[in-house]
Amino acid sequence: MVNSRRKMLAARDDLADKISEIANSKGFTLFGMINSILELAIEAEKMGINLEEAVDNYKMTKAVKEASFTLVLESLLYETAEIACEKAKQETLKVWFDAGVWLASQYTSRNIENPLGNIEKDLKAFSWNIPEFTIEQIDDKVSIRVLSPRLSESYTVLFNRFLEGILKALSFEVKYKELGKGNIRLEAARGGG
C-alpha cells in the first residue's frame, strides 16, 4: 500500500519553475513529476548509481552516437583487423586513415571549440580496452600515447593510422612515431613546429 500523505520539499525558485514547465509540457502535474523524479532517484540509489555520473554518461553516449561510434565485440574487432591486414593491408590502412579524417571533420564541422580534446574524451569513453590513452596539446604541438597489452599487432597499426588521419584533418603533421604491439606514441605539430 502506497502512503498518500504529502510532505513539503523546498527548492530554488528557478528550479521549481523549470520543473513545473517540464511537467506541463509532458502532461504531468507538478506533484506527479516530482514523485516520478524522486522514485527514479531512489531506484538509482538502490542500484548504486550516482545520478550526476549517469547524466554525464548519457550525454557522452549521445555525443559518441552522433559521431557515428558503435559498440562491437573486442575479439571480433581484433580478428577482423587481422584478416583485413592479411588480405588487403594497404586498402585497410587507407580506410582507417580516412575514418580518422572523417571523424575529425565531424567535430570541426560542428564548430566544437576543442575538437582534439573532445575526440580524446569520446575515444576514451568507448575504448575500454585501452587503459592508457592520452592526447596532450600545447599550442601547435600534440602528443598522443596509447598503451594496451590487449591490442593485437594489426589493430595497433590500424588504430595508429586512424589517429594519424585525425591529426591530418586537424592540420597536424606527424613528426615522430613509435609503434609496437599495443603501444603507440605520436608527436605532431602544425606548421614548421
Read off the pLDDT of residues 98-154 as tens digits, 9 standing for 90 and up.
999 999 998 888 888 888 998 898 888 777 778 899 999 999 999 999 999 989 999
**Identity of the residue numbered 97:** F
Who has greater pLDDT, 59 or 191? 59
The confidence score (pLDDT) of residue 70 equals 78
The pLDDT of residue 173: 96
Mean pLDDT along residues 63-78: 81
> Residue 142's beta-bridge partner residues?
137, 188
The pLDDT of residue 113: 85
Query: Which grid cell is 90?
Result: 594497404
**Mean pLDDT on 33-41:** 91
pLDDT of residue 144: 97
CA distances for 85 relative to 59, 101, 160, angstroms = 35, 20, 14
* pTM for this entry: 0.74
Strand order from edge to edge, sheet including 183-189: 132-138, 141-147, 183-189, 173-180
Q: What is the pLDDT of residue 72?
A: 83
- End-to-end CA gap in the chain: 71
pLDDT band at 15 (very low <50, low <70, confident <90, very high): very high
Task: Write the pLDDT tens digit of every residue in 164-177.
Answer: 999 999 999 999 99
CA separation for the pair 156, 183 (Å, rounded): 7
- Amino acid identity of residue 108, one-letter, is T
Q: Is 100 helix (H, G, I), strand (E, B) or coil?
A: helix
What pLDDT, on a 0 to 100 scale, did the predictor assign at position 193? Answer: 59
- How many other β-carbons are positioned within 10 Å of the β-carbon of residue 134? 11
SS3 187: strand
Give me the mean pLDDT over the 90-97 stretch.
97
Say how far apart CA 62 and CA 125 lie, in whole Å.
12
Nearest-CA neighbor of 164 among 156, 172, 152, 154? 172
Tell me if 100 sits within 8 A of 165, measured CB to CB.
yes
User: What pLDDT does residue 156 have?
Assistant: 94
DSSP state of 71: -
Q: How many percent of the chain have pLDDT more than 90? A: 59
Mean pLDDT of the chain: 89
Name residue 145's beta-bridge partners: 134, 185
Cα–Cα dist 146/101, whole Å? 19
